[in-house]
Amino acid sequence: MKFNKEELDIIRLECTHYENDRAASIEALKIIQKRQGWVSDDAIKLVSQVLHISESDVEGIATFYNQIFRQPVGKYIVRYCDSNVCYINGCEQIQQTLESSLGIKIGNTTQDNKFTLLPTCCMGLCDKSPVLMIDKKIYSCIVPSDIMQILRSY
């Protein structure tokens, strides 16, 4: 993997907005993820070289943030909230229905690479729980019977 000139220019511009290159690494990772859909080991190495920080620092940053994917993901990221409030309001049934509807377990991607299923600690919508998010669209107060119709819309 190599950065093209445009990507390098964007990463270098981002560096000017931060006190140090380590702080800019998250933006560099997001640029790569937008391009290839996830952040590979080669991408970690390239960010390290471009920003002059250690690979282990870049890896630590990449694995800390749950919006940075370290393995290929589906076209749509399906997140369900598993916080305490959503748990009380039935997120276990939502999880089970998602797993059976998609034919995958948490953390996996469907065979057609369409959906990846991930839990999320909190979406900040406790008053509307249980909550499901597909990419940036939020579905609130969902019940298991809503899930097939939601998935079909994708």
Render 34-95 in DSSP notation, one character per residue: HHHSS--HHHHHHHHHHHT--HHHHHHHHHH-TTS-SS---SEEEEEE-SHHHHHTTHHHHH
Place of tokens 């909550």: 131
Q: Is 81 annotated as a binding residue?
A: yes
Listed residue (35, 98, 104, 39) closest to 65, CA to CA: 39
Tell me if 5-64 shares its fold with 76-152. no
Look up the pTM and report it: 0.79
Sort 85 into a burial class: Cβ within 10 Å, 0-12 / 13-18 / 19+.
middle
**Residue 138, beta-bridge partner list:** 133
Rounded to an integer, what distance in angstroms lies between the CA atom of residue 16 and that of residue 26? 13
Q: Is 86 annotated as a binding residue?
A: yes
**Looking at domain 5-64, does it have CATH number 3.30.2320?**
no
User: What are the structural domain ranges in the chain?
Assistant: 5-64, 76-152
Rounded to an integer, what distance in angstroms lies between the CA atom of residue 129 and that of residue 5? 45
pLDDT of residue 68: 93
What are the 10-residue block averages of pLDDT along the chain, 154 residues in total?
A: 77 83 88 90 91 94 91 95 94 96 96 96 93 95 96 96
pLDDT of residue 1: 64
- The dotted CATH code for 76-152 is 3.40.30.10
Place of tokens 């119709």: 149
How many CB atoms within 10 Å of residue 2? 7
Q: Is 91 annotated as a binding residue?
A: no
Rounded to an integer, what distance in angstroms lies between the CA atom of residue 3 and that of residue 55? 17
pLDDT of residue 11: 80
pLDDT of residue 99: 98
